[in-house]
Amino acid sequence: MNFLSALVRFENLHEVRRLCHWGPIIALSVIAICSTMAIIDSVIWYWPLDTTAGSINFLMLLNWTVLILYNYFNAMFVGPGYIPLGWKPENPKDTQFLQYCRICQGYKAPRSHHCRKCNRCVMKMDHHCPWINNCCGHLNHAYFTSFLLLAPLGCSHAAFIFVMTMYTQLYERISFGWSTVKIDMSAVRQFQPLMPFSVPAFAATLFALGLALGTTIAVGMLFFIQMKVILRNKTSIESWIEEKAKDRIQHYQTGEEFVFPYDLGSRWLNFKHVFTLSGTPRGNGLEWPVHSKCHQYTLTIEQLKQKADKRVRSQVQYQAVEDYNGACCPLNKGFRTFFRTPCTEEPRIPLSKGETILATRGTKWWMYGDKIVSEEEMRGKIIFAILISTS
C-alpha cells in the first residue's frame, strides 16, 4: 500500500464533493487556523532550533495536525459502509424479523438504518455527522472517535502555546500589576527570531485561543459521549432504541426482559470490537456476535414492536393551516419558532395549506412526523424515480 492510499482512502473522485459543505469547511478552517497560529507562535515563544525541548514542542504540533487530518479524512472518505442495494438474508424466513427499505429496495440488516442525507442504508449507523458530511457507522467509527480524541488534545497544546506566547511578549511591555506572577523564561529566550509580535498578531492569537478552547470543550464532550456507547458496544441510535424498549415494556406491563444483544460483557472486548490495529473493525457489517440470551434479530424484532406501537400512538392527524416552504429557520413563523428550530439535519417537509400530517412527537413549535401522501402521488414518485434511474 502506497503512502497516499494509506493516508486517505475513498472509492471514487465523487467523494471529494463531500468537502463542499458547511461542516467540513468550518472544521477544516478551525484546524487550519489553530495549527498555523500555533506553529507561528511556537516559533516566537520557543524557537525550535535552539533547544531540544523547543524541537520536541514543534514536532508535537506537527504530529497533532497530521494525526487529526488523517483520522478526519478517513472518517469522511472511508465512510460508514452501506448495505448492498436489494440485500436479503440468506434464509428467506428471516425477512419476517427485518424492516424493508423501499428506497434501497432491500431489507435493513441488523444494526443498520436508512440515512436520509446519504440516501442509503448504513451499516451500524450511529448518526449523520455534518462536520464530516457523512455518516458515522461500522467502517469509520474508530476513525471518527480517534478524531474526537486527538482534536481536543491538539487544541489543548495549541492553547497552552497561545497563552505562553502572549504572556512572554506582553509581560515586559505592559504592567498588569502581577508582581507575584513571574515565570522563568531564560531557557526559551536564548534566541529570539525576527518575528515581531504586533497588535494584529496578538488579535489573531487571541482569536485562535478562543477557537482552541471552544473546540477542546465541545469536541471533548462528544468524545466522552462516543466512548460511553462504544464501551457498551452500542450506537447512539441503539441507546435510544433501548430506552424506548424499557418505556414500551413499562407502559404495557408486558413483563418482558429486554437484553441488549451486542454487549459482549466486557468493556475491553467491546472496545476491541471497534478499535483494531489495522483500522478496519471486526465483522462484515451484516452479522454480529450477540449475548447468549439473544440472537441476531433480537434488536430488529424490538424495532418492529416499537414501530407498531408508534403507529398506535400516532393515530391523531393534523392539518396544515398555513403554507410552509421547508426552511430550516423560517423567519415568517415567529421568533420562537425561528430560535427553537430542532438541532438536527433531518429534512424539513414542505407543506401546503390543507395537507394532512401524521405526527409521532413534537414540541410547542415543531412536530416530528410524515406527510400523508395519496396513492396517486406515491405512484407519481415511483414513476419519476424510475425515469431518473433509466436516464
Q: Note whether 169 and 104 are within 8 A (CB).
A: no
**In the predicted model, what is the mean pLDDT of residues 224-233?**
94
Q: Could you tell me the pLDDT band of residue 384, with boundaries at 50, 70 and 90?
A: very low
Handedness of CA 327, 333, 338, 343 (dihedral sign): negative
Average pLDDT, the chain: 83
β-strand partners of 357: 318, 371
pLDDT digits (tens, 9 = 90+) for 252-286: 888 888 999 999 989 999 999 999 988 888 889 99
Active-site amino acid positions: 129
pLDDT at 365 over 80: no
58/124 Cα distance (integer angstroms): 39
Q: Could you tell me the pLDDT band of residue 310, with boundaries at 50, 70 and 90?
A: confident
Q: Note whether 352 and 320 are within 8 A (CB).
A: yes
268: its cell numbers: 475491553
Q: Which of 282, 224, 235 is nearest to 263 (CA)?
A: 235
Length of the chain: 391
Q: What's the pLDDT at 178?
A: 46
331: its cell numbers: 423567519
Q: What's the pLDDT at 374?
A: 59
pLDDT digits (tens, 9 = 90+) for 124-170: 999 999 999 999 999 999 999 999 999 999 999 999 999 988 888 77
Alpha helices in 196-276 (DSSP H): 199-230, 236-252, 267-274
Q: What's the pLDDT at 166?
A: 87
Residue, of 142 and 178, whose pLDDT is higher: 142
Q: What's the pLDDT at 153?
A: 97
Least confident of 62-71, 99-108, 347-356, 371-380: 371-380
Q: Note whether 344 and 136 are within 8 A (CB).
A: no
Give the position of cell 415511483: 382
Distances (CA, A) of 60 to 150, 154, 155, 161: 12, 9, 12, 12
pTM over 0.95: no
pLDDT at 385 over 50: no
109 backbone dihedrals φ, ψ, rounded to 5°: -65, 160
Q: Note whether 360 and 315 are within 8 A (CB).
A: no
273 backbone dihedrals φ, ψ, rounded to 5°: -70, -25
Strand positions, DSSP E, the chain: 100-101, 106-107, 113-115, 120-122, 127-129, 134-136, 317-319, 356-362, 367-371
